[in-house]
């Protein structure tokens, strides 16, 4: 996927001016946090579960090589194959090779952010293979030729009227008289279109929420059941996923699943949780003939041993997006690449570079709400600040900003001078604002006064007044 993270400011302005987006985000901003809160309040041990989830991931990351090799050996033992993909190009090439070996024309896909990360749909189309998204949200945005704007609710940027318009424009057999005003009606329409595609597909590609080392299994959760149809009906099942999804045991996966659904949608458990271990065995009633796992690295292993390692604990629940006031203001497309919101602000610079994605870790007030809801306690603001450290060290900030900061810091290290400057500023601004008590505009403060007034100081600095009273 081509990144536009460099244009974050323009993207954000477009998002703020988009009435449909603002309507859609308005619904999401209240819905997700409320449902998560109710779900966690119903589970008294939720805080302990978060600690346990963090410990499972930390342990796995500390022994990642061991668990990945164990996982591979168990995939092979159950008749499947693991394809190691250091880069997106190698991940795509592995999919192409598998598809060609079975003469695949169409591929159904369950939701996979790793597939977005490697640009799989564009790649398949360029190679004469038709990918069909089967998650309802992914299906809608595929019709609209848009990227997902959220990691678990890819079409959250749309209101239902836009979905109806899309179906009318793209479903050529759709009777114009048929009503599409209710979500249920749109769901039925999508289902009618997708059912024959499921049956016709040669290959099914899903992501994975977790990989289980002790059994060689992949686990997906969905609420639509589309993942099950995608992975059981075609002759070949490809799991497109990344190395940090592995956990040691099924028990560990169960612990993380309890955290995932509650953090993501406020459900106690997702509607469908499907564990796949290898291809169809003799005597099985259904299942694919071939089972492949593509394991993408794409810069993840390079985060081990750095200040960004904790990001690899992420289980992609989207609680940080759902609780982020910046995400709620601008929407996911503003972030300009696959992963938006706080987790994207940390992960995106790791994967595509701080030079491209520098805005993302800066566009945060460090309000800390993301960290407070993260099911595996990733210190997201701290890691955004680490990106700012690297940016500053590489001198990527605008020169004016660096100079202003240096001048301020130089003054702040000289208390006598600092107090004199503060008193002068307090007196000057206090005098200028003495009648109205506020400024509608102020030189050098346009960023502030363009959107709000600047309250006037009282007129004297505290330290000057204190010094006078102490005499």
Partner 1 sequence: MRVALFVTCLVDLFRPTVGFAAIRLLEQAGCTVEVPRAQTCCGQPAYNSGDRADAKAIALQLFDAFAGYDHIVVPSGSCAGMIRVHYPGLFADDPVNLPRAEDIASRTWELTSFLVDVCGMEEVTAHYDRAVTYHDACSGLRELGVKLQPRQLLGSVVGLRLEELSDAEVCCGFGGTFCIKYPEISDKMVTDKAADIAAAGAEAVLAGDLGCLLNIAGKLSRQGRRIEVRHVAEVLAGMTEEVPPIGAPR
Residue 242 DSSP label = E
Residue 37 or residue 59: which is nearer to partner 1 going by CB? Answer: 37
Residue 406 bridge partners (DSSP): none
Distances (CA, A) of 165 to 57, 143, 193, 197: 43, 11, 16, 22
Distance in angstroms (rounded) separating the CA atoms of residues 105 and 84: 24
CB distance 46 to 262 below 8 Å: yes
Minimum Å distance from CB 207 to partner 1? 31
Residue 139 or residue 327: which is nearer to partner 1 going by CB? Answer: 327
| Residue 93 CB coordination number (10 Å) | 16
- Binding stretches for partner 1 (CB under 8 A): 9, 12-13, 16, 325-326, 329-330, 362-369, 371-372, 382, 385, 387-393, 397, 401, 405-406, 408-409, 411-413, 415, 418-419, 422, 425-426, 434-438, 440, 445, 447-448, 450-458, 460-463, 465-467
Torsion of CA 60, 64, 69, 73, to 10 degrees: 20
Residue 3 or residue 442: which is nearer to partner 1 going by CB? Answer: 442
Residue 177 or residue 400: which is nearer to partner 1 going by CB? Answer: 400
What is the 3 state secondary structure string of 33-87? HHHHHHHHHCCCCHHHHHHHHHHHHHHHHHCHHHHHHHHHHHHHHCCCEEEEECC
Minimum Å distance from CB 98 to partner 1? 43
Minimum Å distance from CB 433 to partner 1? 9
Q: Which residues contact 347 (CB under 8 A, 6 or more apart)?
A: 311, 314, 339
Residue 255 or residue 411: which is nearer to partner 1 going by CB? Answer: 411
Minimum Å distance from CB 5 to partner 1? 14
Residue 174 or residue 454: which is nearer to partner 1 going by CB? Answer: 454
Q: What is the rounded radius of gyration, in angstroms, for the C-alpha atoms of the chain?
A: 26
Residue 167 or residue 327: which is nearer to partner 1 going by CB? Answer: 327
**Token pair 């604990």 is at which residue?**
313
Minimum Å distance from CB 322 to partner 1? 12
Minimum Å distance from CB 381 to partner 1? 9
CB distance 164 to 180 below 8 Å: yes
Residue 145 or residue 470: which is nearer to partner 1 going by CB? Answer: 470
Minimum Å distance from CB 24 to partner 1? 15
Residue 294 bridge partners (DSSP): 83, 240
Q: At what angle do helices 64-77 and 46-62 cross, to 10 degrees?
A: 90
Minimum Å distance from CB 337 to partner 1? 18
């Amino acid at each position: 996927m081509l990144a536009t993270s460099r244009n974050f400011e323009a993207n954000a302005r477009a998002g703020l001016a988009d009435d449909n987006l603002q309507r859609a985000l308005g619904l999401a901003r209240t819905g997700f946090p409320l449902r998560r809160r109710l779900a966690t309040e119903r589970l008294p041990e939720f805080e302990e579960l978060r600690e346990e989830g963090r410990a499972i991931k930390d342990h796995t990351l500390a022994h990642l090589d061991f668990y990945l090799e164990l996982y591979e050996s168990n995939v092979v033992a159950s008749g499947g194959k693991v394809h190691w993909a250091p880069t997106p190009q190698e991940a795509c090439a592995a999919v192409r090779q598998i598809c060609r070996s079975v003469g695949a024309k169409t591929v159904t896909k369950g939701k996979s952010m790793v597939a977005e990360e490697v640009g799989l749909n564009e790649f398949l189309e360029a190679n004469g293979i038709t990918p069909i998204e089967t998650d309802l949200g992914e299906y809608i945005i595929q019709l609209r030729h848009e990227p997902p704007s959220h990691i678990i609710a890819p079409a959250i940027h749309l209101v239902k009227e836009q979905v109806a318009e899309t179906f009318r424009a793209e479903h050529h057999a759709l009777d114009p008289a048929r009503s599409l005003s209710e979500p249920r009606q749109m769901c039925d329409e999508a289902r009618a279109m997708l059912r024959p595609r499921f049956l016709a597909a040669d290959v099914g590609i899903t992501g994975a929420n977790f990989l289980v080392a002790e059994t060689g299994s992949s686990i997906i959760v969905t609420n639509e059941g589309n993942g099950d149809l995608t992975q059981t009906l075609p002759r070949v099942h490809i799991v497109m996923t990344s190395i940090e999804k592995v956990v040691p045991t099924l028990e560990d996966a169960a612990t993380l699943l309890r955290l995932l659904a509650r953090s993501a949608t406020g459900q106690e458990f997702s509607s469908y949780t499907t564990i796949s271990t290898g291809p169809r065995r003799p005597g099985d009633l259904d299942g694919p003939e071939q089972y492949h796992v593509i394991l993408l690295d794409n810069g993840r292993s390079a985060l081990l041993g750095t200040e960004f390692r904790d990001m690899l604990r992420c289980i992609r629940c989207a609680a940080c997006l759902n609780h982020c006031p910046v995400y709620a203001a601008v929407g996911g497309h503003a972030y300009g690449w696959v992963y938006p919101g706080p987790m994207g602000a940390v992960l995106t610079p790791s994967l595509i570079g701080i030079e491209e994605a520098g805005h993302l870790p800066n566009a945060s007030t460090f309000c800390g709400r993301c960290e407070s809801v993260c099911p595996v306690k990733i210190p997201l603001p701290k890691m955004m600040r680490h990106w700012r450290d690297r940016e500053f060290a590489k001198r990527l900030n605008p020169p004016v900003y660096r100079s202003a900061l240096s001048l301020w810091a130089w003054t702040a290290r000289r208390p006598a001078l600092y107090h004199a400057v503060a008193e002068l500023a307090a007196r000057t601004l206090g005098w200028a604002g003495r009648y109205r008590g506020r400024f509608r505009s102020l030189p050098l403060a346009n960023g502030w006064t363009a959107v709000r007034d600047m309250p006037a100081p009282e007129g004297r600095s505290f330290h000057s007044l204190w010094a006078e009273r102490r005499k």
